[in-house]
């Protein structure tokens, strides 16, 4: 259940690019991405707690930018309605993708994979998140992917740079250095909503079976995947060579 790494269609010197964007603000980074990748640029959104920030920033630069959203079939009802609200409010060009096998059939064949430890989660994430994302990248001819990751969310994200390469696709992180306060201030200043479940203690919101409220002093991702892991796999290396390359670069 892994992908083969591919060479990027656009060759960039990532060390130089990251030096160039070291002190750039989010909109400058997004404009650079739009100029560099053109129609091959997309963004992803889980329509989670603070999703409105990156969506609002991105449409200021490219109003018709495709927004890839992965429907696992297990999202909270509030997530579906929140996605519709933001789509209308920001006039988003959302492209929904989901697994090739229904959630009911998955449970019949494999049981409740999220109750089967890390191996079960890995199968679940491949079927419902990674494979649909790979299909979206292929169908939309993606060369670069904007993601609203922030360094303070997980150990993996703390090691990222503004622009990275993942499985032949460039990843651009315009708000990587933002704090939780930066996010709150931006949402307030621009009259943008948090996800409805945020006020109930859900700082990170994914599937119903793998998201839970956190304590006041908990990490934002502490309520995900029953504490077994912090990442679903979409933002992790998909090949051994890619992971070794990242480690060699000090990331």
CATH for 30:
3.40.50.620
Residue 222: is its pLDDT beyond 60? no
Residue 249 in any domain: the answer is no
pLDDT at residue 9 in the model: 78
Residues 148, 50 contacting (CB under 8 angstroms): yes
Number of domains present in the structure of the chain: 1
Average pLDDT across the chain, whole number: 86
pLDDT at 227: 53
Residue 234: per-residue pLDDT: 58
Give the separation between CA 110 and CA 101, rounded to whole angstroms. Answer: 12
Establish if 7 belongs to a structural domain: no
pTM over the 0.85 mark: no
b/e string for 15-39 if b means 16 or more Cβ within 10 A? eebeeebeeeebeebbbbbbebbee
Residues serving a catalytic function are 232
In a domain, 97, yes or no: yes
Quote the domain boundaries for residue 157.
14-235
The verdict on residue 251 lying in a domain is no
CB atoms inside a 10 Å sphere around CB 64: 10
């Amino acid at each position: 259940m892994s992908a083969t790494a591919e060479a990027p269609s656009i060759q960039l010197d990532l060390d130089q690019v990251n030096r160039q964007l070291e002190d750039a603000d989010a909109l400058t980074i997004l404009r650079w991405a739009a100029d560099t990748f053109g129609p091959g640029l997309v963004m992803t959104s889980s329509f989670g707690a603070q999703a409105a920030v990156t969506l609002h920033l991105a449409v200021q630069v490219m109003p018709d930018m495709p927004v890839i959203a992965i429907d696992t079939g297990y999202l909270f009802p509030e997530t579906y309605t929140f996605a519709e609200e933001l789509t209308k409010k920001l006039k988003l060009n959302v492209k929904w993708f989901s697994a090739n096998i229904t959630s009911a059939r998955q449970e019949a064949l494999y049981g409740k994979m999220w109750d089967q430890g890390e191996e079960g989660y890995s199968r679940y994430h491949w079927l419902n998140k990674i494979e649909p994302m790979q299909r979206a990248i292929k169908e939309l001819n993606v060369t670069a992917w904007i993601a609203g990751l922030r360094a303070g969310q997980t150990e993996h994200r703390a090691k990222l740079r503004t622009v990275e390469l993942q499985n032949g696709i460039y990843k651009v992180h315009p708000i990587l250095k933002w704090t939780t306060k930066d996010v709150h201030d931006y949402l307030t200043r621009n009259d943008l909503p948090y996800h409805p479940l945020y006020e109930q203690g859900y700082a990170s919101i994914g599937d119903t079976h793998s998201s839970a409220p956190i304590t006041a002093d908990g990490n934002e991702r502490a309520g995900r995947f029953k504490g077994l892991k912090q990442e679903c796999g979409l933002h992790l290396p998909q090949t051994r060579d890619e992971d070794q390359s990242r480690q060699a670069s000090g990331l």
